[in-house]
Amino acid sequence: MWLGCSREETFRKAGELGLGCLAMSGGGPNRLTQLIQAYREGIQHAKPVGKMVKDRVSISTLAICAESRKKAQERGAEILDWYRRQQELRNVKVWQEQDPTNVPDDYQWHYQRSTATDSSQRDEVSSLDQIKEGRYCIGDPDDCLRYLEQYAPTGVDEIMPLFQIGPMANQEVMETLRLFGKHVIPHLAKTERTKSATTASDNG
């Protein structure tokens, strides 16, 4: 069993319940390192709600890869605009139509965030600028590889890229998969083998 997590309290709670942790990578590697630490601290004293402790953290990120960085970033911005719009619509349907007095305490944080009108509580940076800042796994193969590599030290166990997003065409998804298979995954696998061999040598 897994628990979707976004706040430190939820990461710790997932650990204490012996649940696997599902999260998004949007907060960046430094923030994720802190959150995973809270999860690991919680799981040390786990009282599992299931038959086993699922000590594992998995994160997701939008992933779009193309031979051309410019092409990937521009198309990625269109897709990210769509994705952000869906979030806004969800907030309206799920939260803004609710009577705040009926929102349980456990959901007040989500309610306050989703109904915020203060621009300081909302991300006003354009989708294209977010991508150029490296917030998403979007770009050419080197960009995608750099993005994923920065999460290795966080303690995350696996990354689940979201390849098929909204209005993306099958041809676009297949191009991302082809480039990941040719450039990204083999490099990460080689890095992991080297790290494992070094660890074994140090312990031997």
pLDDT digits (tens, 9 = 90+) for 20-78: 999 999 889 999 999 999 999 999 999 999 999 999 999 999 999 999 999 999 999 99
- Residue 71 inside a domain? The answer is yes
Name residue 161's amino acid: P
User: If you search the block for the tokens 């309610």, which residue do you land on?
Assistant: 111
The phi, psi pair for 20, rounded to 5°, reads: -70, 155
Scored b (16 or more CB within 10 A) or e, 169-188 reads eeebeebbbebbeebbeeeb
Given phi > 0 = left and psi -120 to 50 = alpha, else beta, which region is 134?
left
| Neighbouring C-beta atoms of residue 20, cutoff 10 Å | 20
Residue 201's contacts (CB-CB under 8 Å, 6 or more residues apart) are: none
- Residue 140 inside a domain? The answer is yes
Q: Which sign does the torsion angle of CA 71, 171, 133, 152 carry?
A: negative
pLDDT in 10s for each residue of the chain, 204 residues: 999 999 999 999 999 999 999 999 988 999 999 999 999 999 999 999 999 999 999 999 999 999 999 999 999 999 999 999 998 887 777 777 777 788 888 777 777 766 665 444 556 899 999 999 999 999 999 999 999 999 999 999 999 999 999 999 999 999 999 999 999 999 988 877 766 655 555 666
- Residue 26 inside a domain? The answer is no
Q: Structure pTM?
A: 0.82
- Residue 46 inside a domain? The answer is no
- Residue 87 inside a domain? The answer is yes
- What distance in Å separates the CA atoms of residue 86 and residue 44, rounded to the nearest whole number? 37
Query: Which residue range is the domain that position 114 belongs to?
Result: 56-203
Q: Total domain count for the chain?
A: 1
